[in-house]
Structure 1
Amino acid sequence: MNLVTGIESTDLFGGEVPPAARRLIDAARGAAHDEAGAALWTTVLAFPQCLPPYYLLYKFHASRGELKLAEEVACKALAVAAQQASLARDWRTVQPDDADFSKPGPARFWLFTLKALAFISVRRGEHAAARALVGKLRALDPEDRLGFGVVEALLEHSRSR
């Protein structure tokens, strides 16, 4: 599903992507790696308060195995979403009643990005960091609506190897 125009985008992030940002994202689709990366970075830099392009950019880098870059983008996304959702900048201090993480919008995006950081940590072999992130996800999303259980299973599998 198209994250920017489809239902999934609204369910996770809420709000609309500005038309100019959408044009840049569309330019990234099907483009060569360097051109796609440049278009996504341009989108994030030109629209720093628009959350979906951050997701696309950290997913882009993660899918290419560029985990350090994916982590850097996800951390920027987390900071922007925290500001928009009025959450603490330090994810470790966020509490379940600080926001409604079940509704589309910045708080839900923030939680989704926390899950992405946990996944990136597992892939980078940073098991202690991944465990801490999964623990926070469990506290904030005890029903596992965003699927942190998948990351938790990957973490357990990677530890048993």
Structure 2
Amino acid sequence: MNLITGIESTDLFGGDVPPAVLRLIEGTRGGSSDDVAVALWTAVLSHPRCLPPYYLLYKFHANRGELGEAQEVATKALAVAARQASIDIHWSAVQPGDTDFTIPGPARFWLFTLKALAFISVRRGERAVALKLIAKLRRLDPIDCVGFDVVEALLSQSGPR
């Protein structure tokens, strides 16, 4: 599965990744973690409207246990996607009718990134924040297209509701 160039990319991000970004990302194969971090940050900074590098960067930091960095990148990704989807940049102000979250593109990426922030919040022990994010996801995505039920299950395992 290639979340940057395959069907998953189109479903989540709604479009193609610029060749310059692909070259940066593909150039990290087999590289050190530092090389990967530099390439991903370069992609984000040089193509700030391109959503896939944000995903890869927050996922990279989360997988390394760098949850503060992951949260920072995901928060930036949320703002970029909100602008592109023409929704409020404050996640708490977004309402179910503001856009169609089922269509591939920035709005769906925004919803997916909100789920990522909930996951990061659970891992950071920020239970109250995670509960608010999950409640918002439940309102915006009542049929759970992005799979927030996994984060909800993780939260329930981490302590009492």
Matches within 5 A, 1:71-90: 71-90=71-90
Q: Deviations over 1:28-76 (max 9, x none)?
A: 2321010100000000000000001100000000000000000000000
3-state SS of paired residue (1:60): helix
Q: Structure 2-normalised TM-score?
A: 0.98
Whether 1:38 and 2:23 are equivalent positions in the alignment is no
Aligned length: 160
Supply the distance in 1 between the matched residues of 2:10 and 2:91 (Cα, whole angstroms): 23
The one-letter code of the counterpart of 1:8 is E
Q: Structure 1-normalised TM-score?
A: 0.98
Aligned-residue offset at 1:159:
1.1
The one-letter code of the counterpart of 1:143 is I
Partner of 2:111: 111
Partner of 1:54: 54
Q: Note the residue ranges of structure 1 that are not aligned, 5 or more in a row.
A: none
Aligned-residue offset at 1:15:
1.0
Whether 1:15 and 2:51 are equivalent positions in the alignment is no
Q: Note the residue ranges of structure 2 that are not aligned, 5 or more in a row.
A: none
Whether 1:28 and 2:28 are equivalent positions in the alignment is yes
Supply the distance in 2 between the matched residues of 1:137 and 1:120 (Cα, whole angstroms): 14
Partner of 2:152: 152
Supply the distance in 1 between the matched residues of 2:107 and 2:3 (Cα, whole angstroms): 17
3-state SS of paired residue (2:27): helix
Q: Percent same amino acid among aligned pairs?
A: 69
Moved over 3 A (4+): none
Supply the distance in 1 between the matched residues of 2:131 and 2:29 (Cα, whole angstroms): 34
Aligned-residue offset at 1:149:
0.3
Kindly indicate whether the alpha-carbon contact (under 8 Å) linking 1:30 and 1:36 is maintained by their aligned counterparts in 2: no
Q: Deviations over 1:87-110 (max 9, x none)?
A: 101100100110000000000000
